[in-house]
Amino acid sequence: MTAHTVNCRPLTPDCWNDFETLFGTSGAYGGCWCMWWRIKRSDFESNKNAGNRRAMHALVHSGTIPGIIAYEDDQPVGWCAVAPRDELGSINRSHVLKRIDDQPVWSITCFYVAKTHRDRGLIEKLIACAVEYVRKSGGDIVEAYPHTSTEKKLADVSSFMGFPEVFKRQGFQAVRQASKSKLIMRRYLAMVCLVLIAFPVAGQPHQPSSLFNGKNLTGWVNYGTETWYAENGELVCESGPDAEYGYLATDEVFTDFDLSLEFLQEANGNSGVFFRSWVHGTTVEGWQVEIAPPGGHTGGIYESHGRGWLIQPSLEKESLLKVGEWNTMRILAIGGRVRTWLNGVGMVDIMDELIGRAKGRIALQIHSGGGIKVRWRNIHITRL
C-alpha cells in the first residue's frame, strides 16, 4: 500500500488556483467560498456564487490569510478556515457565539474536504495544522464552534464546523454550551506566557520594553548625514544637508517580535520601519514597513535591494493614514509571517521564506529628496 504525505499551507495568492480547484464551481457548498462568517447575511445572499468568490479572491490578494489548505502529494484535498476572530464580522455579531471574554482569540470556523478524501481522518489533520499555524503566528488561544448534534446528515455536507470529539483529541476543551446544537471550545497555546505575565522576570521574552527613552539616542546608531534628535519626549528625524537616505538603527538584534509605535508626518513624511535588517553605511539590506505620504502604500512591505514590493495594502486602506496627525503602527513578525496594522486596522499579512530565515536590527528610515520631517514616540517592542 502506497503511503501518501499530507501537509498544509496558508492560503496566499500563489495558492489561489489550488483553492479554486478544491472548492469547485459551487464554492465548496452553496456558493459560500468560505465568506459566511466574514460578511453580513444580506451581502452573502446577494453575492453568491460569483460574488462570494470575488470577495474571497480580493481578500486573499490583499494579503489576508483566511485559512490553510491540506495537500496530499501536492494535490489540494482539504480546507480549514482559521483567522483572528476580529476579522470575522458575522461571528462577532452572533448572539449564539458571542465572546466569552475580551482575550484575543483565533477562530476555526469551517472545514471542507474533497469527496475522494472524506472519512479518512483529514479533519483531525487540518485541526492540528491550524493549531500549529496559529502558534507560529503568535496566537495564544484557538477557539472552535463544533456541532453537538448527532444527526448523521451533518457529516455529509460539504462545509461544516466539525464535531466536539475530534477537537477534544486535539487538546480542545468545552468552555460554553452556546445552544442546543453548538458548543464553544478552546485550546490554550501559551500557558508559559501566562506564567510570565503573572510573575514578570527581567529580561524574559514576552515582556514589552521601550526602544526610545524619550531623552536621547541611547541604544541607537545613526547611519548617514540626516538629522536625528530627541525633543519633548519625541524622536525627530529631518533631512540633512545631503538630502540622502538616512537610518537610525537599534544596537540590538531582533528575530520574532511585536513592535508598536506612533508617528507624525510633519513635513512630507516619506520614511519607514526596517526589520530584520542590516545597515552598511547608507545601504540597507532587509525589509521595510512603508510609511509614506497619502497613496504611498503605508503599511506595505518592501524588500530593499532585492525583490522590491512584496505586498501593498488594498486601495481602500490608503485612506486610513491621518495626515498631520499622530498615527499608530504595529508590526508583528513571527517566523516567516509578518502582519502590519495602521491605526488599529490590519493592513497586510504575508508569509515569506526569506523573511523567515532572517534576523537583524530595527531601523527607522528617512527617505532621500530633502524636505522631510517625521516625529516618533511610544516605540515599544516585545520579543517573542
Mean pLDDT computed over 131-137: 90
pLDDT score of 284: 87
The string of pLDDT tens digits covering residues 222-242 is: 988 888 999 999 999 988 777
pLDDT score of 152: 47
Alpha-carbon span 11 to 16, nearest angstrom? 7
The string of pLDDT tens digits covering residues 49-102 is: 899 999 999 999 988 899 999 999 889 999 999 999 999 989 888 989 998 888
Mean pLDDT computed over 344-368: 90
Mean pLDDT computed over 5-16: 91
Q: Is the pLDDT of residue 325 over 50?
A: yes
Q: Which residue has the higher pLDDT, 137 or 78?
A: 78
Q: What is the CATH architecture of 6-189?
A: 3-Layer(aba) Sandwich (3.40)
Closest CA to 225 of 360, 364, 366: 366
pLDDT score of 157: 43
Q: Is the pLDDT of residue 197 over 80?
A: no
**Unique residue bearing C-alpha cell 452553496:** 30
Alpha-carbon span 215 to 213, nearest angstrom? 6
Closest CA to 221 of 290, 280, 140: 280
The string of pLDDT tens digits covering residues 292-310 is: 989 999 999 999 888 999 9
Q: Is the pLDDT of residue 321 over 50?
A: yes
Q: Is the pLDDT of residue 201 over 70?
A: no
DSSP structure class, residue 227: E
pLDDT score of 149: 64
pTM: 0.52
> Comparing 6-189 with 210-383, is the CATH topology the same?
no
Burial class of residue 363, CB neighbours in 10 A (0-12, 13-18, 19+): buried
Q: Give the domain ranges of the chain.
A: 6-189, 210-383
Residue 337 β-bridge partners: 334, 351
pLDDT score of 110: 93
CB atoms within 10 A of CB 354: 14
The string of pLDDT tens digits covering residues 146-174 is: 988 655 444 444 348 888 989 999 989 88
| Among 19-33, 68-82, 142-156, 260-274, the least confident range | 142-156
The string of pLDDT tens digits covering residues 104-119 is: 899 999 999 998 888 8
* Cα→Cα distances 360→253, 255, 271, 289, 363, Å: 5, 7, 19, 14, 9
Are the beta carbons of 66 and 2 closer than 8 angstroms?
no
Q: Which long-range contacts (CB under 8 A, 24 or more apart) does 207-216 make?
A: 207/382, 207/383, 208/258, 208/380, 208/381, 208/382, 209/380, 209/381, 209/382, 210/379, 210/380, 211/250, 211/362, 211/379, 211/380, 211/381, 212/376, 212/377, 212/379, 214/377
Q: Is the pLDDT of residue 198 over 80?
A: no
**Helix 16-23, helix 50-61: angle, nearest 10:** 150
> What is 210-383's CATH topology?
Jelly Rolls (2.60.120)
Alpha-carbon span 281 to 268, nearest angstrom? 24
Alpha-carbon span 171 to 333, nearest angstrom? 26
Cα-Cα-Cα-Cα dihedral of 131, 134, 140, 141, to 10°?
-60
Mean pLDDT computed over 118-145: 90
Q: What's the chain's average pLDDT?
A: 86
Alpha-carbon span 118 to 60, nearest angstrom? 26
CB atoms within 10 A of CB 290: 22
What DSSP assignment string belongs to 21-82? HHHTTTTTTTT-TT-TTTS-HHHHHHHTTHHHHHHHHHHHHTT---EEEEEETTEEEEEEEE
The string of pLDDT tens digits covering residues 328-341 is: 999 999 988 999 99
* Cα→Cα distances 273→270, 332, 349, Å: 11, 12, 16
| Among 126-135, 168-177, 192-201, the least confident range | 192-201
Q: Residue 31 — very low, low, confident or very high, per pLDDT cuts 50/70/90?
A: confident
Alpha-carbon span 234 to 329, nearest angstrom? 16
